[in-house]
Each structure stands twice: as C-alpha cells, then as structure tokens.
Chains A and B, each alone.
Chain A
C-alpha cells in the first residue's frame, strides 16, 4: 500500500468527521447538525455491510477448518448448525428462534456470568490483604461501605452509615472527579495528536 493511502486518507477522514462532530455540538449551525446526522447514518450502513462481509469471512474460515479436518473442527460444525438453525427459524418460525435465544443462549450466558461471583470472592480476598498503607485504606473504606449496604449494621451502629456516606461523598467524589478530568485531558491530547498525524495506533 502506498504512503498516501496508508497515512493521509485515514487522517483526512478522521479530521473531517472529528471536526464536524465537535463543531455541531458547540455551534448553532443547522448545516453541521444535518451533516452529523447523515454521517451517523453512514456509520450504520457501513456497520451493516461490515457485518455481511464478516459473515462471509466467518463461513470461509470455518469452512476451511472443516474441509481440512483441523483440530476442533467439530466446533466449527456446531457453529454452522447453530447459525443455520437460528437463520432459518427467524424466518420460518420466529417463536422457535425466541425459544432458542431465551432458553439456550440466555441461560448459558447467565451461567458464565455466575462464575464472576466466585471470582469476586477470591478477588476481594486478594484485595483485602493489607500489604501496605494503600491497601489498608482501601480495606478500611470497603468495610464501611459493606456495612452501609448491610442494614443490620445501621441498626447496631448508626454511625457506620455516616462514615460510609462521608467516604462516598467526600474522598470518593473528589478522586472520581480528578480521574474524570484526567481522562478528559488525555482524550483531548490524543485527539490533537491524531489530528496532527502523530498518533497512528488506529491505522495499525
């Protein structure tokens, strides 16, 4: 690919779309809003096309795996069967498609998500080991916040809610705002670097 295609075209596309999106937010110019709406529609159309090409690429990739009987090729067969089943049922019997989604996909997803509960416990154990002063502060704050959400503590020790709410409203709020400002500044910095052509991570 030539230098012009590699670097200049993505940069121009980024600069034009970025400036239009930014300026339409600040300026009361109807033309800019219209162009921005149009661009958003383009994104939807391009995404749909990308989905189509993705489907073709997926079929070619898994088709090759099945033809060459590579290891795990049965998974590719399952993929084709599931895909065809869903595709046909969405047109022939929509209620069956809903059944497949609600009774197979959703419970499987929920089962995976349930694993996070166990991971949460071990993660909390890891986090609460007081190794240094930072971890001690973290554990102290977390214990008070857990007490806030367990109503029994508020009955036994009403002061816990006061301390926990103070932690949430004062140090937590201040730190959160600091993080938000830092991210916002970093965002502007990256946008400017991309506009000037110094940041090229998005082009590979």
Chain B
C-alpha cells in the first residue's frame, strides 16, 4: 500500500507525529512549562518595541513575500504568530505599528489580528498591502528613509527582498530582528539584523513568546526527534566506515 522507497520515511514521519502529539498533550496535562534556552532575538522584541515608544518613531513588520502555501507556509505562520504578539505589545504601549503585507491571503488575517489588538485605535492604514516583490522593495526604500523606523521586524519566509528591507532598516538606524528558514536568506539576516533567528528558532518563536504549554510541548518533541536523527546519522557514518552501507535502509 505504501509507495516503494517511502516505507522508512513514512515510519519516521508517523513516529515524529506520534511524539509531537504525545508531548503536546503531556505538557498541557502536566501544566508545567518546560525550560527552553534563551533566544536573544526574541528577547529583543520587547526592547525594540520599548525603543519605538521612547523615541516616538514607528515599527515596521514584514513576513516577506512567502505565502500560506507550499513548504514556506510554516515559516509564514510562525511570522504571523509573532506579528500577533508584536501587535498586542504595540497596542499595549501605544506604539505605531505598520505591517507590510506582500501576500493578499495574509491581509485579512493581519486585519483580524490588528483589530483584536488595537480595538478602537485600529486604522486600516496600519496594513500596507504591496502586491509584488519589486513594489515591496521600492516602497520600503522610500518609506524607511522618510519614516526612520525605530524597529524593523523581518520574520517569515523571506526571499530576495531581505537585503533591501534589512539594509533600508539599518540605514534608518532601526533596531532589527530578522528570522527565516530559507537557506539563501539566512546570511543576510545574520549579517544585517541586530538579532537573527535561524531556521527552527523562528518556528519555535511562537512558543517562546507566548509561553503556551502546547507550543512548548512540541519543542521537547523536536529535540527528541533531532536526537534520533543525529543518532541515525552517526550510526550511518560509523557503519559506513566499517563497510556497511545502511543508507539503503533509508530508501526502503
């Protein structure tokens, strides 16, 4: 019934899903949040919002041009989780927050988030819909130069626009927090932003800032699965050195 060559990966996927479900349910039932390591980039979010309030300058947030489909969807969702957090904090401290939306499907989601965070202070202009990547880059270059943002968040599935958004933010003197799981954009995020979140750091960001038990539970499962993957890699390496090619098992 299972397609040829996919047996091993299917079993691994089922184990992974089972572990995630178990640890999410277990953590929620236990009610005690697990300890996770400090992520400076996420701790800096509050600092950046505070700086925007002190200086009276705006905050800009972008999830890049990655949408809600395909393999980038989880990164966009993680970016939106953090947008929700930033919107609530900005509303609490009465900071000016603008979301640069480059994907039409995200606009209504962001509107809902802003409406529930800012309530009567919500203004439609807070969500700036810019339809293409080129237009986004052109808009940002001018907008950041004029508005001189205090904080710039680039969190999500970032593409080629990263360099423009991050460099424009750096030129404006904004405190920048960037994060993506897209491999080719990671160097730009790390080199141009004050705080960078690499790959899975972005995906656990929602858990980190919300401290929600279900999300924290999935972090434990990720660590266990990562240990399994590392174990399998070491086993393949050692056995490979001894002349046994176990990589064939992975392709059963």
A contact set with B: CB distance below 8 Å = 25-29, 50, 54, 109, 112-113, 115-116, 119-120, 122-123, 126-127, 135, 138, 176, 179-183, 185-194, 196, 198-199, 201-204
In the complex, are the beta carbons of B198 and A179 less than 8 A apart?
yes
Would you call B66 an interface residue if the criterion is a C-beta within 8 Å of the partner chain's C-beta atoms? no
The 7 lowest CB-CB distance pairs between A and B, nearest first, are A204-B112, A186-B203, A127-B191, A182-B200, A198-B214, A183-B181, A201-B80
- CB contacts between A and B, total, < 8 Å: 152
Q: In the complex, how many angstroms separate the beta carbon of B190 from the nearest chain A beta carbon?
A: 8
In the complex, are the beta carbons of A185 and B109 less than 8 A apart?
no
Q: Enumerate chain B residues within 8 angstroms of A191, measured Cβ to Cβ.
A: 74
Binds A, one of B32-40, B41-49, B166-174: B166-174
In the complex, are the beta carbons of B137 and A189 less than 8 A apart?
no
Q: Enumerate chain A residues within 8 angstroms of B143, measured Cβ to Cβ.
A: none
In the complex, are the beta carbons of B222 and A185 less than 8 A apart?
yes
**Contact among A28, A135, A189, A201 with B20 in the assembled complex (CB-CB below 8 Å):** A189
Dominant SS at the A interface?
Answer: helix
> Contacts A109-B134, A190-B74 hold; do A26 and B6 have CB atoms under 8 A apart?
yes
Q: Enumerate chain B residues within 8 angstroms of A181, measured Cβ to Cβ.
A: 226, 229
> Contacts A115-B141, A123-B192, A193-B24 hold; do A202 and B109 have CB atoms under 8 A apart?
yes
182-235 of chain B: CB within 8 A of chain A: 183, 186-188, 190-192, 198-200, 202-204, 206, 212, 214-215, 218-219, 221-222, 225-226, 229
**Contact among A179, A182, A189, A190 with B221 in the assembled complex (CB-CB below 8 Å):** A189
Q: Enumerate chain B residues within 8 angstroms of A188, measured Cβ to Cβ.
A: 13, 16-17, 20, 225
Give CA–CA (A1, B214) in the complex, Å: 25
In the complex, are the beta carbons of A119 and B168 less than 8 A apart?
yes
Would you call B101 an interface residue if the criterion is a C-beta within 8 Å of the partner chain's C-beta atoms? no
Q: Enumerate chain B residues within 8 angstroms of A198, measured Cβ to Cβ.
A: 24, 212, 214-215
> Contacts A28-B1, A192-B17, A192-B218 hold; do A112 and B84 have CB atoms under 8 A apart?
no
In the complex, are the beta carbons of B104 and A185 less than 8 A apart?
no
B contact set with A: CB distance below 8 Å = 1-3, 6, 9-10, 13, 16-17, 20-21, 24, 68, 71, 74-75, 77-78, 80-81, 84, 104, 108-113, 116, 134, 137-138, 141, 160, 163-164, 166-168, 170-171, 181, 183, 186-188, 190-192, 198-200, 202-204, 206, 212, 214-215, 218-219, 221-222, 225-226, 229
For B81, B171, B192, B218, which residue has the most chain A Cβ atoms within 10 angstroms? Answer: B218
In the complex, are the beta carbons of B203 and A187 less than 8 A apart?
yes
